[in-house]
Structure formats: structure tokens, C-alpha cells
Amino acid sequence: MSRVKTLGFWSTFYRHRVAYAYIAPFYILFAVFGLFPIVAGLAISFFRWDGVDPMRFIGLQNYFRLLTDGLFWKSLGNTALIGLISHVFILGGGLVLAYVLNSKLVKFQNGFKTVYFLPMVTSAVASAIVFKALFGINNGLINFVIKSMGFEGVDWWGGNGDFVKVAVIAMFSWQWIGWNMVIYLAGMQAISHDIYEAAEIDGANHTQVFFRITVPLLKPIILFTVIQSTIGTLGLFTEPYVLTGGNNLLGGTDNQAMTVMMYLLNKAPYGNNLYGFASAVAYVVCAIIIVVSLVNMKLFDRDETASTAARRKK
């Protein structure tokens, strides 16, 4: 290292030019298509701008208007509710499935894995079209089952909008459980078999092994999936959009399935032309993601996960 330091910046750079050339594409593309829009977005959020006329500086007004807009809070609440309920299945279910398929309790693991993963390779638009039919009011399969059990069919889409979220939650969970299961499986396969054997000798049952060994050892990976899920949930768009008919971004009856992403795109560039306002929405959403992620890191014992991640890098 000391020899490298005595060389000039450019000669150091030249010595390692191959490595820098290999990693350059990412940093160049990220600077242009990632970093620049993010910085420019912050600037735009302080302006009133319809995309055509000159921009007008209005300070924090976009943020004030946003935070006092009941529809924004409603869409945020919808997103949170849909996300929280879905992730009981997506994360909890994925974890249990991964545990069962990783322990040698059952055969045909690959078959089960493949089937559970199938929704992941299926277009969300196509899936949403099918789920819309499944939840059809007069002729959907779900209402058929409900009616044949002797109950009234449910008005999933209309009424006072109480049930619109159910279809979104069902579809969202159906889609993502397999992906998280596979990630947890990858993590579980890295856990040494000796630990399980030792637990078995000590007479631990599966519930104990799951909660005392598997889950604690998977903490960093669970944290990773929780953060990815937070980002994914706040970007939730296609499913509720197509399920509610796809004619507008308002989320069906009484805006019950309007997510923050629909709220954002409805301001610009897909619905209206409130570009400054839409940028403010994007920034508030990003702030929420960061706060939720930080809270999760704390909850997951930040020290442990951060330091293992850092150690792993070296």
C-alpha cells in the first residue's frame, strides 16, 4: 500500500485501469439516470411547474399542500394496510415454507419450490386480469365458493369499498411469497448442519429450532427482505391499478385501493401535469422508506447486522 501512495493519482488509476473500466458502466449510468434525477427532483419539488410554462419557486408549498391533502394520507394508509397484511403471508409464510422445505421433513422439495415460485415469472398485468375474474361479483370463482357454502356473495369492487383491498392483498401475497421463500432458503442452506444436529441431540423440537436457531441466524437476511419489501410496497402500482379496472389511477370505489404510487403518478406524468408536486410526493415517499428502514435496522439489532455486513465485505 505504501508504494501505491507514493505514486500519483493518475498512475495509480492507470495501474488499476482494468478494474476501473470493468466497474465504470454502473457508476456512469447511475450518475446520469439515477443520481441526477434524484438531485433534480429535490430542486423541482420547490417549484410550481406544469412541464411547459416557466417554473415558479414556491418554497415548501408543495410539501404543505401534500401533507394537508386527505387523499394522500388515505393512499398512504391503504398502502400501509395492504403491505402489512400481505407481508404476514409473504414474509412469515415464506419463512415457514422455506424452513419446511429446507428441513428434510418432506420430499419433492424442488417440485414445491418451483410451483410456489411460478407467480414470480408471471406478468402482474396478466395475473391481475385473472384475479379480477376470480373476484368477479356474479360469476367469480371466489363468490361461487362463498355462495355454495350458503353465504351471500361479496360485492368485492363496489358497495362502500370495504372489500377492494382484499383482492389486492390476495394477489400481492400470491405473487411474492415464492420469491421470499427462495431468498430464505438460500440463507438457510448457508447455516451449518452441525448446529441442527446439536439441537436435535439436545432434544429440541421443530418449533424451538425454528425460533431459537433458524430465525436468529437469518436476521441479516430477514432484514434485507424487510427493507426490499418496504421499497416494493411503497412502489405498489400495477396490481391495484389493473384490478380496479385500469381506467384511472384513483383506486376504485372510494379510493380504497389507491396506493401512494398511484397518487404520485396521478399528479404527474401519467394523470395530471403537476410536476413539482409529484416530485414532492416522491421525496416524501423516499423519506418514509428511509425512516421505516432505519426503524427496522434498530429493531433488528443494528449493531449485529451492520457489523456482520461490514465484515462480510472484507
Which residues inside 178-237 make contact with another protein, applying CB under 8 A?
A: 178, 182-183, 185-187, 189-190, 221, 224, 227, 231, 234-235, 237
Among 99, 116, 156, 263, the residue binding another protein under the rule CB under 8 A is: 116
Q: Counting contacts by CB under 8 A, is residue 36 touching another protein?
A: yes
Q: Which residue from 82, 209, 226, 264 is in contact with another protein, where contact means CB under 8 A?
A: 264
**201: amino acid identity, one letter:** I
Shortest approach of another protein to residue 20 CB, angstroms?
A: 7
The yes or no reply on residue 31 touching another protein (CB under 8 A) is: no
Interface with another protein, residue 283, by CB under 8 A: yes
What's the CA gap between 194 and 196, in Å, rounded?
Answer: 5
The residue written with cell numbers 449510468 in the block is 29
313 binds another protein (CB under 8 A): yes
Minimal distance, residue 70 CB to another protein, in Å: 22
Measured between its terminal Cα atoms, the distance across the chain in Å is 16
Q: How far is the CB of 199 from another protein (least distance, A)?
A: 18
At 198, list the grid cell.
Answer: 446439536
Does residue 176 contact residue 86 with C-beta atoms inside 8 Å?
yes
Residue 271 interacts with another protein (CB under 8 A)?
Answer: no
Contact (Cβ atoms closer than 8 angstroms) between residue 168 and residue 198: no
By the rule CB under 8 A, 282 interacts with another protein: yes
For residue 135, count other CB atoms closer than 10 A to its CB.
22
Looking at the DSSP bridge assignments, the partners of residue 227 are none
Binding of another protein by 34 (CB under 8 A): yes
Q: Which is nearer to another protein, 130 or 160 (CB)?
A: 130
139 lines the binding site for another protein (CB under 8 A): yes
Site for another protein in 291-310 (CB under 8 A): 293
Q: Shortest gap between Cβ of 149 and another protein (angstroms)?
A: 13
Least distance (Å) from another protein to the CB of residue 216?
A: 16
Q: How far is CA 290 from the centre of its chain?
A: 13
Helix (H) or strand (E) holding 294: helix 275-299
Q: Note the Cα 242 to chain centre separation in Å.
A: 18
Residue 48 backbone dihedrals phi, psi, to 5 degrees: -95, 125
Q: Name which position in 60, 88, 130, 295 contacts another protein (CB under 8 A).
A: 130
Among residues 101 and 164, whose Cβ is nearest to another protein? 101
What type of residue sits at position 106? V
Assess contact for 233 and 82: CB atoms under 8 A: yes
For another protein, the closer CB: 16 or 162: 16
Locate 124 and state its grid cell: 402482474
